[in-house]
Every structure is written in C-alpha cells, then in structure tokens.
Structure 1
Amino acid sequence: MTERAASSCLAGQGANGRTLLAGEPLGRIGTMVVRLACSAAEIEAAQEVRYRVFREELGNRAVAAGMQDRRDADRFDDVCDHLLVMDTSLEGPDHRRIVGTYRLLRQESASAAGGFYSSDEFELDRLVARHPHLRFLELGRSCVLPDYRSKRTIELLWQGIWAYVNHYDIGVMTGCASFHGTVPAAHAEALSFLAHNCSAEGAWRVPAVARRHHPMDLMPTEAVNARSALAAMPPLIKGYLRLGAKIGDGCVIDHDFGTTDVFIVLPVETISARYINYYGAEAQRFAA
C-alpha cells in the first residue's frame, strides 16, 4: 500500500469546486451505507472481500498467482478510489463491516498509472482519444458477499456511483463485465443477443484488441430468444443494459480469472431519464 492510499482521505475536488471527503456517506438505506474508502485498512479490507469472492468462491487463478495475505490487489489499487458498502449493524470497526466494493478509476488517475486496467483487453485508449471533451471513469472489481446480494445492495452501489459521477462531472462510464467460464459458446445466446442488439456503434465502437478478440455473434438473430438470453446474463450486465449501456465489439477470454469479458460503454447523457430521476435525489443530497 503506497503512502497515497494509506494517508489520503480526500477523493479530490469536483467540478463544483467542492472537495469530496472519502469517508463521507454517498448514500444510505436502513443500516447500509455507501461511501469511499478512507484508509489503508479499509482498502485492504476491500481487497479481502474481493479475495473471498474471486478466489474462494469463484476459484480465479489470478488471485492465487499474485496474492499474499489473502487479498486481491494489483498496481491500480493505489490510484483508484474504492467504493464501499458497509453494514453498520455489524460489530467491529468500519473496515470489518464492508460487504461490497467497486473500484473507480478516473481518467486523470489512469494517466498517472500508465493507462486503464481494461486497455489490455479492449481498445479503450482509442475511444478516449475520440472524445477529448468528456471525462471517462472505469469501473471494475465489483463484488458483493453472498449474504448481501440483493436489490438493496445494488441500489446502494449505484447511489454511490451516481454521486461520484455527478461530483466529478464524468461523461462516460466504462469497464469490463464478465460471464463465468472461458468458453464463449456456453453463453452463445446471451452473447449473440448483445452483439445483435446492444453493440456500440460509430464513435462509441470499442473492439477487443486483435490478439484477444473472439466473436460474439455465435447465433443468427432469428435464433435468439430475447427472454432466455436476458435471463442467462449476469445481473451486473443486465443492470448496465437497463441504464442504457452499449457493448463493445467482441469478447475476451481471461484465463487467469476464468471469465469471458465484454466491454461496457455508458455515456452519461444516454442514461435513461427514470434512473437519473431515481438516483439524482440521493446524488444531490450527498454530493451537492
């Protein structure tokens, strides 16, 4: 953990000139609260939650190969903000109340780190270059402990993300989302639905890097049943689609993490009005 991550409790000054304190609430539902990590202990606790989900539950090899102390960590953690969902009804210090986490990498921080995490799989840098007047935010490492995988927890995460997006005047949200397993054909209908109906086009098109590109249109349009395709999709991807997200060109097999990855492109201006109205009140309340 670097000195920056260990000592900083400031997420930074936003477009409104206000400094967002990393420990202040960005949303609350009952005993659950969402906020940014404020200390090295909280970041390390979030990495432990990621380890429990990615390694112990899903068996991802990348964690086993690169981790010590039962934490999922990489070089990007030190330049990211870490969104935390905490259950305040649990006993112990705050860092032991973390039940869910999301990693947030702003464009200026990515530049300091030498690029975005997703750039190893998708041509994100070219997308950013085509939109020089928009601020990009990469979301990743999303996970929630099994007992807390509910609509309420997902809503809290999005309350936090929306407050953060508004604070920093983010124009585009991006990031990888995953299907479990490394055989795209096992998800042929869902991937084909995405390819035929949800592809990012024109200036928003983002292909997988050529050496890792796998086709997604594995079934013809007429063979895809939309209802069963959507039912087979991971909840995170369905959540993005409800907000109005589009999908990159091609999928990528991540053998270390045991996943088939697709790329999410979500310009803020295209988010459905009903979701802006739904989350906007909380964003205004907590990050005005």
Structure 2
Amino acid sequence: MSIDILNRDTTPEVSRPAAAVAPKEGDVLGRIGNLETRLARTAREIDAAQHVRYRVFVQEMQAQLPPEAMRRERDFDAYDAFCDHLLVLDRSIEGDSEDQIVGTYRLLRQDVAMVNGGFYSASEFAIDELLARHPDKRFMELGRSCVLPEYRTKRTVELLWQGNWAYALKHGMSAMFGCASFPGVHPESHALALSFLHHTVLAKGEWAVGALPGQARSMDLMPKEAVNPKKALMALPPLIKGYLRLGAMVGSTAVVDHAFNTTDVLIVLPIASISDRYLNYYGADAGRFAS
C-alpha cells in the first residue's frame, strides 16, 4: 500500500476537491441487520472514512504517513478526490453518519483513473501491461480496505463484498484488482502463505502480472510439496481468503511497503471467474441490493 504517489511522475491531478462529493441516487448497496453499505455522500463522510483508515493503518499497523496526515490523524492522498468511497455504517450507533462508519473501501473505475493519472496500484505493480492485454475490458481497482477491530466479522466482510459486487455490476466492470497486504516487511515470515498463493492461484497467461522492476520480491519461498494447504489457508489474512473464495488470482511477485509496514500482493479477479456459488448468492442484478 505504498503512499509514495506524490513523488511519482504519474501523480494524479486532483480534478475536483473532496467537498464536491454529492449524494448519489441508489447509492445504498446492501443491508444486513444494523449494518448498511453505501457510497459516501459528503466530504465529511470521506473525512471520517480517512480517520477510520488512520486508526487501522497507523494506530494498529504502525504505518508512517506524511507529516500532514499524521498531524490531522487522517490517511489521505490525491486519489481520494476522484475515487468513490464505499462505507459500512452501523446504524445502531447514535450520532451522525460520520460517527457510524466502521469500515471502508476505496473504488476506482478505469475510465476515471485514466483521466486522473492512472491507478494507485501502478506504483507497485505492472498494471499498464495488464490493461494493454485487455483493451475490451473495463477494470476497477479496490483499495484502502479496512474495518475497525470490533467489526471484523463474517457479516461485515460479506457486506463489503455485497457493495463491491453491486457497484461493479452497476458500472459494467469486467474485472477487479487491487493490493492486499500481509503485516510486516519481511516476506520470509509469510513463506507458507505466500508459497501457497504462488503454487495454487498464480495469475497466468493474459492475466499474468508482476511487481515493477526493482520492487519485486519472490513468493516462491517453499517447494510445492512442502506446503500444507490447510495450514497455509489458516495463515492467510481474512481479506485475501475472501478474495480466493470468489475465484481470485494473485500476481507473480510481492512488494514490500515500508511506509505502511506491509508486504503487498496483487489480487486479480475477473468478474467471469467469480464462483457460481457466490454469483448465485450475491445475484447478477446490482439493483437487488439498491434501496
């Protein structure tokens, strides 16, 4: 989850300030009990989501953000101005909507990315090569996923995916991708899990993608016969495990992100690859989850 985007030549220009965010018709994408997922409607909600990100990435995961972000206790960058922000809100919490945000995802469609400097993941992975092989497809980037500790339940993750799925269908997306992270900056400490990903769900052929030269770290850290699949699955972060259940593939190499104190892998998920079980559960009609 590299935050060094402001020093890259491809740094996006902020096409509109965050305050320009407006309510969007049909932006509620799902509900389970007291939890609701929808897009952020106001700049204040985006600001609150950035504070949730700060709590998880900095206070919990020990990320080192730029001084202004640390001072404001907000994880923010130039991409926030033109991405959509998926929220999970706990409606049982008293107060305004900003006080109810317990989880968030940042969504970036290809058409928006291309007029604003490209995708965030391109600072670590060879995204342009992947896009060039699929000129007929529309990609969507998932990023900055985080959920407050007390809400890290199957229900919350399910609701986030419900929102992602409905959003992707509503906008006619062909594939999703994004960075997913292991804690810490030593890939070797995740040798079992990384090797399992390398040997079992490696993106190949037209979907193959690796880290940028100079950043690539091997995921092939153990021979296939030495990998215990059951133990490897238990060692995977819940988010990555959720991606795999949907039929996701993983890029060939990882990236160490010292700023965020993580080891990142690239998840690639063609819509057509989502398993029938989940497709049937979430439904082929995005409107099913719109209020």
- Indicate the larger mover: 277-286 or 120-129: 277-286
Partners of 1:53 and 1:30 in 2: CA distance: 24
Does structure 2 conserve the Cα–Cα contact (< 8 Å) formed by 1:195 and 1:249? yes
TM-score (norm 1): 0.92
Does structure 1 conserve the Cα–Cα contact (< 8 Å) formed by 2:15 and 2:82? no
Check 1:40–1:90 CA distance in 2 against 1; reply closer, same or farther (3 A cut).
Answer: same
Q: Which residue of structure 1 aligns with residue 10 of structure 2?
A: none
Q: CA deviation at 1:96?
A: 1.1
Out of 18, 25, 40, the position equivalent to 1:21 is: 25
Count of residue pairs the alignment pairs up:
278
Partners of 1:48 and 1:282 in 2: CA distance: 33
TM-score (norm 2): 0.91
Partners of 1:130 and 1:67 in 2: CA distance: 39
Q: Which has the higher contact order (CA 8 A, sep 6+)?
A: 2
Q: Deviations over 1:1-42 (max 9, x none)?
A: 9754313326xxxxxxxxx527x3110011110000011000
* Unmatched 5+ stretches in structure 2: 1-13
Partners of 1:79 and 1:105 in 2: CA distance: 8
Q: Deviations over 1:98-153 (max 9, x none)?
A: 00000001101111221110001100111011101111000000000111110110
Q: Which residue of structure 2 aligns with residue 249 of structure 1?
A: 252
Partners of 2:112 and 2:81 in 1: CA distance: 10
Does structure 2 conserve the Cα–Cα contact (< 8 Å) formed by 1:159 and 1:282? no
Partners of 1:73 and 1:178 in 2: CA distance: 18
Does structure 2 conserve the Cα–Cα contact (< 8 Å) formed by 1:81 and 1:103? yes
Q: Deviations over 1:164-217 (max 9, x none)?
A: 011001001000000000001100011011111110000100011111011110
Q: Which residue of structure 2 aligns with residue 226 of structure 1?
A: 229
Q: Deviations over 1:222-281 (max 9, x none)?
A: 111001111001000010011000000111000100110000010000100110111117
* Unmatched 5+ stretches in structure 1: 11-19
Q: Which residue of structure 2 aligns with residue 13 of structure 1?
A: none
Out of 18, 21, 35, the position equivalent to 1:8 is: 21
Q: CA RMSD in A?
A: 1.7
Partners of 1:167 and 1:240 in 2: CA distance: 20
Partners of 2:285 and 2:100 in 1: CA distance: 22
Does structure 2 conserve the Cα–Cα contact (< 8 Å) formed by 1:29 and 1:156? yes
Out of 125, 128, 143, the position equivalent to 2:128 is: 125
Does structure 2 conserve the Cα–Cα contact (< 8 Å) formed by 1:139 and 1:174? yes
Q: Which residue of structure 1 aligns with residue 8 of structure 2?
A: none
Identity %: 57
